[in-house]
């Protein structure tokens, strides 16, 4: 078996704080090297102490960071909503109703086309350093269409989320109860085998907290892990529901009251912030500082979707989070790597430590700070996934 050594790393971000506490939770080793074997990290340390290997790559003083863990995306969809974005930029507000137009286009699209477009987004993500991505259904909203989206998502990632409860589809407008019955009945039967997670959009215009509790509890009883969309458009009860159900993550968290923050701080539930959404909907940004100072674990994800946030770029999300959500560059990078891993309850990604997957990104910069300092600049110079160079 070939062993690969990446050496000459000027700054290695490990997310192992014991390595150097001066960068907060990040953990940094200077003049470092990483040994890769069987797709995993076999050794991490100072370059001067590195073991020999079959192949050696010289990073020439660049920074190397863990691959980004994008724990929230909706990349299997049909159609285009650029006109909706354009209208928003002339003053129209964002509403959950736009989801229904993507549902129509997705139902009409054929499978090869849906897969081709989703794969191209995954490639776009990889090229920007994302080595783990979660993918949701939610634009099908019939038994067959949701199952189809999950089948396609399963060809892209192992982090597959059943989001039959994205909105109530048009044909159930006068029968919400009937739709919740479907989501917790035949649709769950068809979808649970292909998913790891269940998610609900718990918000005005989507699902109430009581509906969300019923749906998430049904998924949990089938062995699915829980995720929740809440606090995107206003304060509600979704965040506390997420904590009550021990959700791995509650996502958006733009609007939170003090009780929400307290509940999150005393829980294992990660608050996943989605800076691309506020950027693309001209909403106020969530206050990451308030959460971090209260002791909440914070992740950052792209929420890549055609409506509220059509970016696939984690470096972009980091830059916005630092500029507008009161995060430090170190906190934002942690949130986009180890934070995303925590939001997926994974300990094999998001860190560069012996035993973890060899998912690494080499930057075209000597410090991770440049991810926020040089917004919009393509700083990803090399990507390794499971030890293989993929970009």
Instruction: Output the smallest distance, CB 157 to Fe ion, in A.
Output: 15
Binding-site positions read 72, 74, 81, 139, 166, 229, 232, 303, 305, 307-308
| Residue in 242, 277, 333, 361 binding ligand NIG, rule: CB under 6 A | 277
- Interface with ligand NIG, residue 301, by CB under 6 A: no
| CB nearer to ligand NIG: pick between 163 and 353 | 163
- Interface with ligand NIG, residue 131, by CB under 6 A: no
| Residues from 278 through 307 that contact Fe ion (CB under 5 A) | 303
The pattern of x and - marking residues 176 through 215 that bind ligand NIG according to CB under 6 A reads -------------------------x--------------
**Cα-to-chain-centroid distance, residue 265:** 20
| CB nearer to Fe ion: pick between 11 and 73 | 73
Binding-site positions for Fe(3+) read 72, 74, 229, 303
| Residue in 305, 311, 328, 337 binding ligand NIG, rule: CB under 6 A | 305
Q: How many CB atoms lie within 10 A of CB 18?
A: 8
- Interface with ligand NIG, residue 229, by CB under 6 A: yes
- Interface with Fe ion, residue 70, by CB under 5 A: no
| CB nearer to ligand NIG: pick between 234 and 266 | 234
| CB nearer to ligand NIG: pick between 67 and 307 | 307
Place of tokens 């989605």: 274
What is d(CA 228, CA 299) in angstroms, rounded to the nearest whole number? 14
Binding-site positions for N-formimidoyl-L-glutamate read 139, 305, 307
Structure tokens at 321: 């989070």
Binding-site positions for 4-imidazolone-5-propanoate read 81, 139, 166, 232, 308
Using the CB atoms, write b or e for 117-145: b if 16+ within 10 Å: bbeebbeebbebbbbbbbbbbbbbbbbeb
| CB nearer to ligand NIG: pick between 10 and 225 | 225
The pattern of x and - marking residues 58 through 87 that bind ligand NIG according to CB under 6 A reads ----------------x-------------
- Interface with ligand NIG, residue 272, by CB under 6 A: no
Size of the site for ligand NIG (CB under 6 A): 13
- Interface with ligand NIG, residue 98, by CB under 6 A: yes
- Interface with ligand NIG, residue 331, by CB under 6 A: no
Cα→Cα distances 46→28, 76, 349, Å = 11, 42, 21
Q: Give the dihedral of Cα atoms 374, 376, 337, 57; nearest 10 deg.
A: -70
**Burial class (CB within 10 angstroms; exposed 0-12, middle 13-18, buried 19+) of 111:** exposed
| CB nearer to Fe ion: pick between 32 and 274 | 274
For binding to ligand NIG (CB under 6 A), which residues are involved? 74, 98-99, 102, 201, 229, 232, 277, 303, 305-308
For binding to Fe ion (CB under 5 A), which residues are involved? 303
């Amino acid at each position: 078996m070939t062993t690969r050594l990446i050496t000459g790393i000027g700054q290695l971000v490990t997310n192992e704080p014991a390595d150097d506490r001066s960068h907060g939770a990040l953990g940094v080793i200077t003049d470092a090297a990483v040994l890769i074997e069987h797709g995993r990290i076999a050794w991490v340390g100072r370059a001067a102490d590195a073991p020999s290997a079959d192949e050696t790559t010289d990073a020439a003083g660049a920074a190397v960071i863990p691959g980004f863990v994008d724990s929230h995306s909706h990349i299997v969809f049909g159609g285009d909503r650029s006109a909706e974005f354009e209208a928003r930029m002339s003053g129209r507000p964002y509403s959950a109703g736009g989801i229904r137009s993507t549902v129509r286009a997705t139902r009409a699209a054929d499978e090869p086309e849906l897969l081709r477009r989703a794969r191209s987004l995954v490639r776009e993500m990889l090229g920007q350093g994302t080595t783990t991505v979660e993918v949701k259904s939610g634009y099908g909203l019939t038994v067959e269409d949701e199952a189809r989206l999950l089948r396609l998502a399963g060809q892209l990632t192992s982090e597959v989320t059943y989001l039959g409860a994205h909105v109530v589809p048009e044909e159930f407008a006068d029968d919400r109860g009937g739709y919740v019955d479907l989501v917790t009945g035949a649709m769950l039967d068809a979808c649970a085998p292909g998913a790891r997670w269940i998610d609900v959009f718990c918000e005005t215009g989507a699902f109430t907290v009581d509906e969300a509790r019923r749906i998430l509890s049904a998924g949990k009883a089938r062995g699915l892990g829980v995720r929740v969309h809440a606090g995107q458009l206003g304060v509600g009860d979704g965040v506390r529901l997420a904590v009550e159900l021990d959700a791995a993550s509650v996502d958006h968290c733009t609007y939170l009251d003090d009780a929400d923050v307290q509940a999150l701080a005393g829980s294992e539930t990660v608050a996943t912030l989605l800076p691309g959404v506020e950027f693309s909907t001209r909403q106020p940004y969530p206050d990451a500082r308030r959460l971090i100072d209260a002791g909440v674990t914070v992740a950052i994800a792209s929420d890549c979707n055609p409506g509220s946030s059509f970016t696939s770029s984690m470096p972009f999300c980091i830059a916005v989070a630092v500029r507008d959500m009161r995060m430090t560059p170190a906190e934002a990078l942690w949130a986009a790597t180890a934070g995303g891993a925590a939001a997926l309850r994974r300990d094999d990604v998001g860190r560069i430590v012996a035993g973890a997957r060899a998912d690494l990104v080499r930057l075209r910069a000597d410090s991770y700070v440049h991810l926020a300092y040089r917004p919009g600049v393509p700083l990803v110079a090399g990507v390794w996934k499971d030890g293989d160079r993929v970009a």
